[in-house]
Amino acid sequence: MYSPELLRAFAAFKHVFDPDDRFNPGVITNPEPLDAGLRPGPGRDALPISPAHALTRDGGSFAAAVHRCVGVGSCRDLRGGAMCPSFKATRDEVHSTRGRARVLAELLRGETLPDGWRSEEARDALDLCLSCKACASDCPVNVDMATYKAEFLHRHHAGRVRPLAHYSMGWLPVWARVATAVPGAGALLARRPVAAVAKRLAGVEPRREMIRFAPRTFRSWFRERPAAGAGRPVVLWPDTFTDHIEPGVGRAAVEVLEALGHRVLVPPGRVCCGLTWHSTGQLGVTRRVLRHTLDVLGPALDAGLPIVGLEPSCTVMLRDEARELLPDDPRAAALGGLVTTLAEIVAGHDGDWPFTELDASAVAQVHCHQEAKGTYAPDLAVFERLGVRPDVIGSGCCGLAGNFGFEPGHWDVSQACAERELYPKVRTAADGALVLADGFSCRTQIAQGTPRRALHLAEVLRGALPDR
């Protein structure tokens, strides 16, 4: 459109008023190459990375995973659905899946975020991500921000002191064993003055109630009960929450499985899926924990026994994340293929039906990881057969999201997520209606935010046994 002479005149004129080329740089007077503003490609990412996750969908490339986001903006939909809870609470682009993907893309380019993995801007953008994994299923291109956040935290805190919550909530399986091993520790921590000090030392949001550890673990109860008779063997997964905090869920599951004709086993040694370390980005510890778990489960894996999970987030860790973190260990893939849920076991039962009809209405909160990486169809099939009419909450994550809701600075978003639909429906549920939630976080959020107690499917099924 313009001659070279006129373009040079434009450049000289602009330089008089804009000597540092701050306004509209690289467009007319000194244009950049045509591909300068395009998405980074091979050789253009400033931060090469060997991710801890296999990222099999993206050829092992963290950059390719981040660049899945093409800016469609489904994560900004305010009409409903599970994605993205932090954006729905804040209405801030940076707290959407798309916003976080763009921040990570800029981090990889190394231009606007020159601090790389130490970037505080990237840390702040990811801070309000609940790791609910809704984007892994609801995003049109399946961006998995929970995995990207774990990768970022793994590198951001490498060789440095972490936030206190990473040592308390991140190492919850260890602290749970300590608390249940010391008589009276759980009751002591529940006392208000002690709880206040403990929360401050642990980096826990002061408005949160302390987790109360059970005086007797599920595994202790299981060891001391009479040995089960013959039946189809299944391994019941003793996750930390069931074992140390709500052992009644595990006891109920044992009764239900035995009523279906199964012989229930538990792993002979300490096992853990590594969930709390994974969500806080302590991926080296996560892998060590998973390898130890695979060693303990060796005989069950060799025998091909079903492994029944009760906690949805732990089930997802065993089914999906284990093979992503240990891609070279065939046992991780074998484990993923054997893990099942209680609902899947019950829905697939083709023998005598041992449960009575309940004829009850219910409010059901689906765990966000189950919704994203699994299915709720078996649960619905079981409810139908039990005569339970569930009103399934469609707003996704409860807002507690494991360690997220316990960390300082997350209270408002945590409560806003619950107030979208969960709290109102639970508060207005009829007195005789059941409140259903398989996730420990979901039950905790409901207990701390409403006057109702939520039940695990195992507890509902045990209540439907004729002698209950």
Q: Percent of the chain, pLDDT > 90?
A: 81
Taking only the tens of pLDDT, the chain with its 468 residues reads 788 888 888 888 988 988 888 888 877 777 777 666 665 555 555 677 899 999 999 999 999 999 999 999 999 999 888 999 999 999 999 999 999 999 999 999 888 888 999 999 999 999 999 999 999 999 999 999 999 999 999 999 999 999 999 999 999 999 999 998 887 877 787 788 888 999 999 999 999 999 899 999 999 999 999 877 789 999 999 999 999 999 999 999 999 999 999 999 999 999 999 999 999 999 999 999 999 999 999 999 999 999 999 999 999 999 999 999 999 999 999 999 999 999 999 999 999 999 999 999 999 999 999 999 999 999 999 999 999 999 999 999 999 999 999 999 999 999 999 999 999 999 999 999 999 999 999 999 999 999 999 999 999 999 999 986
Structural domains of the chain, ranges and CATH numbers in brackets = 1-31 (no CATH), 56-156 (no CATH), 164-202 (no CATH), 218-347 (1.20.1050), 360-463 (3.40.50)
Query: Could you report the per-residue pLDDT of 415-451, keeping only the tens digit for each?
Result: 999 999 999 999 999 999 999 999 999 999 999 999 9
Query: Could you report the per-residue pLDDT of 65-101, keeping only the tens digit for each?
Result: 999 999 999 999 998 889 999 999 999 999 999 999 9
Alpha-carbon gap, residue 179 to 160, rounded angstroms:
27
> Contact at 8 Å (CB) between 458 and 342?
yes
Q: Strands (DSSP E) along 274-319, which ranges?
A: 307-309
345: closest CA among 372, 305, 313, 391?
Answer: 305
Query: Could you report the per-residue pLDDT of 2-41, keeping only the tens digit for each?
Result: 888 888 888 889 889 888 888 888 777 777 776 666 655 5
Q: What is the CA radius of gyration of the chain?
A: 25
Given this model, what pLDDT does residue 185 score?
Answer: 78
How many CB atoms within 10 Å of residue 148?
25
State the Cα angle at 398 between 394 and 404, rounded to 5°: 145
What burial class does residue 184 get, using C-beta atoms within 10 Å of its C-beta: 0-12 exposed, 13-18 middle, 19+ buried?
A: exposed
H/E element, 392: strand 388-392
Query: Could you report the per-residue pLDDT of 129-139, keeping only the tens digit for each?
Result: 999 999 999 99
Region for residue 301 given its phi and psi (left: phi exceeds 0; alpha: psi -120 to 50; beta: otherwise) = alpha
Given this model, what pLDDT does residue 42 score?
Answer: 54
Hey, what long-range contacts does 154-163 have (CB within 8 A, 24 or more apart)?
A: 154/52, 154/281, 154/282, 154/283, 154/284, 155/49, 155/117, 156/117, 156/118, 156/119, 156/122, 156/123, 156/281, 157/281, 158/117, 162/280, 162/282, 163/203, 163/407
Query: Could you report the per-residue pLDDT of 175-184, keeping only the tens digit for each?
Result: 999 998 887 8
The conformation of residue 391, written as its DSSP 8-state character, comes to E
Alpha-carbon gap, residue 447 to 422, rounded angstroms:
12
Q: Percent of the chain, pLDDT > 70?
A: 97
